[in-house]
Amino acid sequence: MSKADDLRRLMRTEGAAVAENTRAFNEGRYRSVADLENYEELKDEARAIKEDAIARLPELVDQLREAVEANGGTVYVADDAADANEYVRSVVADRGAERAVKSKSMTTEELDLNDALEADGVDVVETDLGEWVLQLAEEAPSHIVAPAIHKSREAIAELFEARFDPEEPLETAEDLTYFAREKLGEQITDAEVGITGANFLTADTGTMALVTSEGNARKTVAATDTQITVAGVEKVIPTVEDLRPFIELIGRSGTGQDITSYVSLLTPPVDTPVVDFGDETTPLSEFDADRAFHLVLVDNGRLEMREDDQLRETLYCIRCSACSNSCANFQSVGGHAFGGETYSGGIATGWEAGIEGLDTAAEFNDLCTGCTRCVNACPVKIDIPWINAVVRDRVNRGEDSELDWLVDGLTPDEEEGGAPLQKRFFGNFETVAKLGSLTAPVSSRLADTEASRWLMEKALGIDPRRDLPEFERETLVKWFEKRGGEAASERRAAGGRAARESGARNRNSERRVVLYPDLYTNHVQVERGKAAVRALESLGVNVVVPSVASSGRAPFSQGMVATAADHAERVTETLAPYVEDGRDVVVVEPSDHAMFAREYERLVDAEGFASLSERSYEVLEYVYGLLENGADPDSLSAGGGEKIAYHSHCQQRTLGLETYTVAVLERLGYDVVTSEVECCGMAGSFGYKSDYYELSMDVGDRLRDQLEADGVRDRRVVASGTSCLEQIDSLVARKPQHPVELLVE
């Protein structure tokens, strides 16, 4: 089965349930974090605690061992999965246990602990409802927090009826829950060993923090006289007091709950007496309180990840699933596609690369499009798109050491040798665009012939159902030079200033900018570039449009990080003199602006990044600033109450820039409604690839539904991103425009 076939199957069989539940979690997160006045401060605090904990991890593990052993427990640090399983098996065997009950634990999933115990004849029962459902169905989890998120209520009812043949039909969620509680209760009462995970472990007291939505973890502990906690070494934090920001954030980030139903702090050995379910008349004081406690700390690649400058951030993850819930692709296919052996969602690439290896991570890594929707969702501010780019880079080159270009000065040519042809094609789109414009319009006509489309599908995996870009022979840079360059722009800007010097205070009279000609604006969507120049000049701003390298977004998205760094250095060097001369940098394409504002921090030196990022603006953001500082809105085209439907670009939202576009359009008299759909599904080259075309369109269907809804279908469609414009053009009949074009109509 091809990748496209597999994704199509999952969209058909699991997509509806995954989409409904993940979107509900995501919307709940928005509502819940809005109630936190100090949300960003809590995230900063949580991040700082994890950074400190991972930096001091060996010291904290030693401290944790001392605390647990002082309380009568045992700590075992396992090198890998086999080591951890062998230790747990020995504890269970020494107890003579026939049954072990478990609360939800991703780490034990990682170890395949159930299989190891069952091979010894131990009956292992999952007590988390979702995990139990999957155990009955013999399926793997599809979500970090809600493992059975892909199953509908009807599917679970059918499963229970097939396995248990209940006397009464199970029709409602309440019926299913009560039935499961009864069945699980019977299993728990007969168990000798309880196995839990841990969300956090505090080194100072040996306390385990369990954050759950069900009471099963507490029952697992209370009902058995032997408790085994299995957790990755990264779960250790310094103190009990450090739990505060995590408890505030984990439920809100994962399921949108202000706080989850159960927050259990257990300091071993737990003093709760072991309940004797066989004699309900026994006084509580006479119950056996003699407990055994074992903490199994698992390395399994984590300490190596700790030494890896590019993957270390993965260890800050608190397994909240916010990256999954916020991801448009995950919402369509779930974790059985967007995941590896154990972990799923955006952060899974880092986990699977570090624990299972690059081959496993490579199977789903390309489902991350780098849209950055997960960046603001992560409660510990992990740069998940960067981790995915790093892993993609290593997959391309077939190695998992540190990025060679950071250490050995790998050249782009050396890097590209390992990348698949499709990625080299899209990663070097600058060359394609230059050739396309040089030979336009012939290039566009030839590319769209049946023979060319067949060849592109076979050789490059470009889906023939996707419209191709049409290159312009006259690029934006050539047009600007042809009309007179900077001198002509200054005359036009001066004319704009003179027309408005009638007493109104305008603090923009000396504004000068360098308009960055991104690939699409320069070679394909040239009209929006011209509109940007004219709009700025109308507001009295002197503009230059230099010839400059592409931002590196194209190679970066393909995991060709050395090539992206090479582009970034050339862009920084070219724009530096303009910035030093006092010019601001204005960017039309949001994904390129995001490179300057975010990714260049990793790709160029600190001085170059600071200089460029501090002086770069998205074009409508800049126009908003001009208007706020006294520029006359009458210099721009008036909206006259025209109805507009506006869709913002993903990275534009991550940077918090959407509001500027809406504010400018409303100030000019447009009646604007904004899209609630956060991702169009195109994501640059992603939507062109045959493997992902149908997934791209599935995500796009959500936007189509909104644009065709009552009260919206009669509006003109406006979108900020190149990908968004291309996708919308394939979704609805109305031709979309970039908002800057409206300013000079």
pTM for the model: 0.93
Q: β-pairing, 716-719 with 226-232?
A: unpaired
User: CA angle 272-278-280, nearest 5°?
Assistant: 70
Q: Residue 407 pLDDT > 50, yes or no?
A: no
Cα–chain center distance at 297: 28
pLDDT in tens, 499-552: 555 444 555 567 999 999 999 999 999 999 999 999 999 999 999 999 999 999
Q: What is the reported pLDDT for 110?
A: 97
Q: Residue 565 pLDDT > 70, yes or no?
A: yes
More confident residue, 509 or 233: 233
What backbone torsions phi and psi does residue 192 show, to the nearest 5 degrees? -100, -25
pLDDT band of residue 166 (cuts 50, 70, 90) is confident
Count the residues in the chain: 745
Provide the residue type at 510 as one letter: E
Q: β-pairing, 207-212 with 200-202?
A: antiparallel
pLDDT in tens, 461-499: 999 999 999 999 999 999 999 999 889 888 888 876 665
- The residue written with tokens 């880092």 in the block is 350
Q: Residue 284 pLDDT > 60, yes or no?
A: no
- CA 651 to CA 598: how far, in whole Å? 10
pLDDT in tens, 13-42: 999 999 999 999 999 999 999 999 999 999
pLDDT in tens, 330-383: 999 999 999 999 999 999 999 999 999 999 999 999 999 999 999 999 999 999
- Buried b / exposed e along 690-714 (16+ C-beta atoms within 10 A): bbbbbbbbbbbebbbebbeeeeeee
More confident residue, 179 or 409: 179
- The residue written with tokens 């819930």 in the block is 325
pLDDT band of residue 291 (cuts 50, 70, 90) is confident
Q: What is the reported pLDDT for 510?
A: 76
The 10 Å Cβ neighbour count of residue 217 is 25
pLDDT in tens, 571-618: 999 999 999 999 999 999 999 999 999 999 999 999 999 999 999 999
Domains of the chain, first to last: 48-302 (3.40.50.10420), 476-742 (no CATH)
Provide the residue type at 595 as one letter: M
